[in-house]
Amino acid sequence: MASMKKRADAALKLCGGSEKDYRKEIVKTAKALYKMNNVLIISHKAPDGDTLGCAFALCRGMRKLGKNAVVRCADEIPQKYSFMYEGMEKQEFKPEHFVSVDIAAPHLMGRLADEFENKIEVCIDHHLSNSIKAPVKLVDTKAAATAEIIWILLRAMGVELDKGIASCLFAAISTDTGCFKYSNVTPRTHLIAVELMKYEVECADINFKLLDEESPAKLELKKQALSTLEYCCDKQCAIITVTSEMMEQSGASNEDLDGVSNIPRSISGVECGITMKQVADGWKISVRSSDKVNASELCGKFGGGGHKAAAGCKFGDDYESAKKQLIDAVSEVLK
Ligand SMILES: [Mn+2]
């Protein structure tokens, strides 16, 4: 395993970081993965580019090492991510080892939680609020995307990257950074992207498909949601509301919401953008914020969590009460 240490060092050097403690963590996690066979890799529910890119990159990497590996997700994988599993063969086997990627909490495994939450052996993530229980945990909150960690791990394990793996990781990083424009981006993010681009990744295509392309249904949803736009806290906070009726009328899907929740924060002068989405049992809130507001702390007050600049929480049925509590909490921070 000495070579694993060397490879980890080399990978860390390539992406500009070589703290000894971090290298140790990488080696420990890479070793745990290396020992496994018949591996089930779990993505979070309502999957995004990072959780899927990590899962399929790791799955492809494990297979290259001669192991059986599959990816599972509680929800259906949106069509736009199909390139991630393109060309992968079906494998039938009884899973013996369980890995979670980009999952901050057990309930985010969705309907898979009951079956797997106590079986996770390796948890790889970048969420500050991570609460998964696992013997081996690698939670690097400095990583803009969990995919940064997966890249280092694959290198440490001696996996030869290829176009398939690199495309998954590039897509993961690109989506979790809003195409390299969020404040979570570090030199390491770019350095890893450089390494990935060496494998003929079709970056422009991936970026268009995952970040720019919009269906007519999504545009209709945006139009309707925009009509609810309101401001508070001296216009430093903007709120939009998405009702179930709007979802139905527009024909938009839940993934179409991603673009919508970025709208309020994009308005000049707004430090905190809130999207209130009606769900079966209440209101799902997503918060996007500038440095002035810690979205994760804000949502933490209501039992939620996430990142500094993007987080979420949930409220019950009472729309007005939910909104008032949110506005009060934001004004408390901004005053
Ligand atoms: Mn992520």
pLDDT per residue as tens digits for the range 59-115:
999 999 999 999 999 999 999 999 999 999 999 999 999 999 999 999 999 999 999
C-alpha angle 119/25/9, rounded to 5°?
135
Q: Are 316 and 296 in contact (CB under 8 A)?
A: no
Whether 63 and 188 share a structural domain: yes
Report field, pTM of the whole predicted structure over 0.75: yes
Q: What band does 1 get if pLDDT is binned at 50, 70 and 90?
A: low
**Ligand 1: centre distance to CA 316 (Å):** 26
pLDDT recorded at residue 2: 65
Residue 333 has pLDDT above 90, yes or no: yes
**Ligand 1: centre distance to CA 321 (Å):** 31
**Ligand 1: centre distance to CA 145 (Å):** 5
Q: Which amino acid is it at 323?
A: K
Number of domains in the chain: 2
**Ligand 1: centre distance to CA 51 (Å):** 6
Cα 205 to the center of its chain, rounded Å: 20
Residue 119 has pLDDT above 80, yes or no: yes
**Ligand 1: centre distance to CA 44 (Å):** 10
pLDDT more than 70, % of the chain: 99
CA nearest to 270, candidates 302, 253, 292: 292
**Ligand 1: centre distance to CA 67 (Å):** 25
Whether 264 and 189 share a structural domain: no
Q: What band does 193 get if pLDDT is binned at 50, 70 and 90?
A: very high
Whether 133 and 119 share a structural domain: yes
Q: pLDDT tens digits for 289-311?
A: 999 999 999 999 999 998 899 99
Q: Could you report how far apart the first and last alpha carbons of the chain are, in Å?
A: 55
pLDDT recorded at residue 256: 84
Q: Are strands 39-42 and 69-72 parallel, antiparallel or unpaired?
A: parallel
Whether 57 and 148 share a structural domain: yes
**Ligand 1: centre distance to CA 179 (Å):** 13
Whether 33 and 158 share a structural domain: yes
Across the range 145-162, mean pLDDT stands at 98
CA nearest to 15, candidates 195, 159, 160: 195
Q: Which residues of 60-82 are buried (b: 16+ CB within 10 A; e: fewer)?
A: bbbbbbebbbbbebbeebbeebe
DSSP bridge partners of 100: 42, 123
**Ligand 1: centre distance to CA 102 (Å):** 5
**Ligand 1: centre distance to CA 172 (Å):** 8
CA nearest to 142, candidates 125, 165, 122: 125
Whether 16 and 160 share a structural domain: yes
Whether 206 and 293 share a structural domain: no
Whether 328 and 194 share a structural domain: no
**Ligand 1: centre distance to CA 193 (Å):** 16
Q: pLDDT tens digits for 32-65?
A: 999 999 999 999 999 999 999 999 999 999 999 9
- Looking at 77-233, which runs of residues are DSSP E strands? 97-101, 122-125, 136-139, 230-232
Cα 321 to the center of its chain, rounded Å: 29
Whether 221 and 207 share a structural domain: no
Across the range 136-145, mean pLDDT stands at 97
pLDDT recorded at residue 259: 78
**Ligand 1: centre distance to CA 227 (Å):** 30
Phi, psi at 71, each rounded to 5°: -110, 140
**Ligand 1: centre distance to CA 73 (Å):** 15
Whether 176 and 273 share a structural domain: no
Whether 196 and 293 share a structural domain: no
Q: Which of 142, 176, 211 is the last residue of a domain?
A: 211
Whether 267 and 202 share a structural domain: no
Q: State the residue range of the domain holding 262.
A: 217-334
pLDDT recorded at residue 254: 81
Q: Which of 168, 195, 211 is the last residue of a domain?
A: 211
CATH for 177: 3.90.1640.10
